[in-house]
């Protein structure tokens, strides 16, 4: 029999998390797309972007699950293609909610540039210059810190402070915490799974993909839910006062 889709073996817990990840991302996508009907005009774009993030991830997870089932190795290329599409879209989410408070397109490009630095060096350390993985992680962290700087201290933070909307401010705070704590899950996976990584001798090396998969579920779906909550609360206030 020709198997079009490789099967997961019993006890393949990494494979299970790829499978659960693909279904969770798919379910979240359906949710965000349908909920677009329940929010006011400008919030629809934000929900659309949330749905696109989980949709792009869902497609990649189906492929990654298959790759893992067939090869038993990390689907590094698929992983980084997913991230290089979805992380800039997460920057777009920041830009969209801050636009009403004066965010310029330059802020978005700056954050996308930092994302690219973070991801390109991450990829190089995982797939190309494997013996230099720690050095590549340091360069990647420069990009990560750039994003953290923008949203915790820099211009994004100032724009959020300027807004007189407490709902926007608390959503912005929540997203900033996701980037600080939720995104910090990824370097842990990297240090566990890469050659010479700081955690590679701890027995965690087989768990890199589980760690990445948990990070993706928390960050991509969590981010979307923060946006969703902001969109719904802002929309209902408008209709209540209309
Ligand atoms: C949806 C995917 C997301 C939010 C991916 C985020 C990825 C990171 C924050 C990765 C960061 C890394 C470092 C800061 C250093 C080591 C290499 C990376 C790429 C794992």
pLDDT score of 8: 85
The response to whether residue 219 sits with its C-beta less than 6 Å from ligand 1 reads: yes
Tens of pLDDT along the chain (242 residues) come to 455 567 888 889 999 999 999 999 999 999 999 999 999 998 999 999 999 999 999 999 999 999 999 999 999 999 999 999 999 999 999 999 999 899 999 999 999 999 999 999 999 999 999 999 999 999 999 999 999 999 999 999 999 999 989 999 999 999 999 999 999 999 999 999 998 899 988 988 899 999 999 999 999 999 999 999 999 999 875 554 44
- Separation of 99 CA from ligand 1 center, angstroms? 25
List the chain domain ranges. Answer: 13-241
- Which residues contact residue 150 at a Cβ distance below 8 angstroms, ignoring those fewer than 6 apart? 107, 110, 111, 114, 156, 157
The response to whether residue 87 sits with its C-beta less than 6 Å from ligand 1 reads: yes
pLDDT score of 242: 43
pLDDT score of 2: 53
- Separation of 234 CA from ligand 1 center, angstroms? 31
pLDDT score of 104: 96
Q: Which residue from 96, 115, 128 is spatially nearest to 186, judged by alpha carbons?
A: 115
Q: Which of 56, 89, 122, 123 has most ligand 1 atoms within 8 Å of its beta carbon, as the pocket-test mutant?
A: 122
Class of 13-241 per CATH? Answer: mainly alpha
């Amino acid at each position: 029999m020709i198997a079009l889709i490789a099967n997961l073996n019993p006890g393949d817990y990494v494979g299970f998390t790829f499978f659960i990840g693909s279904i969770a991302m798919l379910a979240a996508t359906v949710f965000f797309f349908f909920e677009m009907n329940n929010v006011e005009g400008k919030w629809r774009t934000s929900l659309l972007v949330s749905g696109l993030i989980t949709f792009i991830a869902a497609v990649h997870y189906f492929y990654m699950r298959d790759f893992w089932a067939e090869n038993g190795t990390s689907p590094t290329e698929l992983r980084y293609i997913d991230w290089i599409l979805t992380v800039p879209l997460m920057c777009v989410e920041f830009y969209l909610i801050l636009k009403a408070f004066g965010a310029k397109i330059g802020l978005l490009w700056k954050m996308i540039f930092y994302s690219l630095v973070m991801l390109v060096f991450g990829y190089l350390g995982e797939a190309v210059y494997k013996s230099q993985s720690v050095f590549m992680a340091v360069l990647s962290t420069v990009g990560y810190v750039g994003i953290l700087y923008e949203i915790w201290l820099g211009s994004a933070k100032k724009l959020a402070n300027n807004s007189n909307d407490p709902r926007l401010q608390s959503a912005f705070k929540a997203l900033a915490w996701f980037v600080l704590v939720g995104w910090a899950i990824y370097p842990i996976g990297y240090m566990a799974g890469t050659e010479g990584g700081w955690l590679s001798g701890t027995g965690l090396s087989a768990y890199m993909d589980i760690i990445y998969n948990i990070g993706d579920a928390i960050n991509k779906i969590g981010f979307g839910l923060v946006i969703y909550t902001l969109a719904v609360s802002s929309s209902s206030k408008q209709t209540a006062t209309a």
